[in-house]
Amino acid sequence: MSSNKVVLITGASSGIGLVTARYLAQQGYRVFGTSRRPTQAEANGFTLLPLDVRSAESIQACLQTIIAQTGRLDVLINNAGFIGPGAASEELSVTQVKALFETNFFGVIQMINAVLPLMRQQGGGQIINLSSAAGRLTTPPFFGVYAASKHALEGYTEGLRYEVQPFNIRVSLVEPGYFKTSIAQTIETPDRALEVYQARREQAATLDRLSIQAGRDPIDVAQTIAQIMRGRLPRLRYVVGLDAQVMITAKRLLPFAFVEKYITWLFLHDAERRPVTSLSGLRHLFLNSRVADAAWRQAWLALALGAGVTLIFKLWRKK
C-alpha cells in the first residue's frame, strides 16, 4: 500500500496524467492533480487544483494549498506538456519555440525548484519527470522542437539526480512511446508555413496523429509510475511501450544511417505523390501499436523457439 504518501501530478485533466492520478488514488495514495482550467473539485478520488507551470505565483499557490491540507509532499510527477509545432526549422517563429519550452522544460524546472526545499526539510521525496521516446530519438521528422524540449529534460533530469542524492530525493524519467490520448490536439501549424515543406510536414503530422489514435492504453504508463514509486532503488530511465523500446535500442546498437533511412521511409516516403490518410501496409505494422506489439511478440517467440531447438540439437549431437 501507499502508506498515505502525498502525490502531486501536473497536467492531470486528461490523458496520461488523468489515468495516472486515478490509478494512484485507487492504490491508496493521496493524490492532487492539476490543470490550468480545472472543471471539477474532486476527480475520481483525487483533488484537482488550478496550476499554470509557467507561473511562479501559480505554483506557490498550488503548493500552499497542498501543504495546508496535508503538511507534506512526497512525490512530484511532472506530466504537463504539449507537442507544439509540426514544422521545419525555418517555418518556426521564436515565439512558438519559447512557448513550448516554457511548459515542457522551464515549467518542470520551476516545479522542481519549488518543491525541493520542502523535500529536503522532510528528509526525502521523489520526482518523476514524463519525457518521451522523443527524448532519445527525434521522431517523427518535423517535430524537432518537441524532441529538443524532451532532450533538454533528459539532460536536466540526469544532472538533478546527482545533485539531490544526498538528501534522499529520488529522481527518474519515464519515456513513453505512442499512447492513446488527446495530446494530438496540441499539434500546432507553423507560424511561417512554406510550400516547399508542406507535403512532407503534413504527412509526418498525419502519421503522428494516427499513431496516437492507435496507441496503447495509458494505464501501462500509470502502472510503471506506481512501480517506480514502490521501488527501493529506482532507475533513472523507464521506457514504456514496445515501439519505444525497439526504437531506442535500435538507435543505440545500429548505425545511425540505418535508423535515418528507416525513419525517413516510415514517415516521409511518397509524401509528394501519395499522401497518407490512414495506417496501411507496412506502416500499419509499425505504427499501429496493437498490431506492432503482436508482431514483435511473435517474432521474439519465433527467435526463442529457434534458439531452443538449436540448443537441443547441439546437446543431442554431443551425446
Q: Is 146 a catalytic residue?
A: yes
CB 290 within 8 A of CB 242: no
3-state secondary structure at position 282: helix
Q: Is 35 a catalytic residue?
A: no
* Residue type, position 123, single letter: G
The closest alpha carbon to 15, from 176, 236, 125, 253, belongs to 176
Q: Of 2, 5, 132, 146, which residue is the catalytic one?
A: 146
Q: Is 131 a catalytic residue?
A: yes
Calpha distance 58→91 (Å, rounded): 32
The conformational region for residue 3 under phi > 0 = left, psi -120 to 50 = alpha, else beta, is left
Question: 282 CB contacts (<8 Å, ≥6 apart)?
Answer: none
Which residue(s) pair with 179 in the sheet?
Answer: 216
Calpha distance 295→98 (Å, rounded): 40
Other residues' Cβ atoms within 10 Å of the Cβ of residue 283: 18
Q: Of 2, 23, 29, 131, which residue is the catalytic one?
A: 131
Where are the alpha helices (H) located in the chain, listed in sequence order? 15-26, 56-70, 94-101, 107-122, 144-164, 195-213, 219-230, 242-253, 256-268, 281-287, 289-318
Q: Of 5, 150, 180, 251, which residue is the catalytic one?
A: 150
List the grid coordinates of 266: 516510415
Angle at which helix 15-26 crosses helix 219-230, to 10 degrees, equals 50
Q: Of 2, 5, 13, 180, which residue is the catalytic one?
A: 13
The conformational region for residue 45 under phi > 0 = left, psi -120 to 50 = alpha, else beta, is left
Calpha distance 109→128 (Å, rounded): 12
Calpha distance 32→34 (Å, rounded): 7
Q: Please identify every residue annotated as catalytic.
A: 13, 131, 146, 150
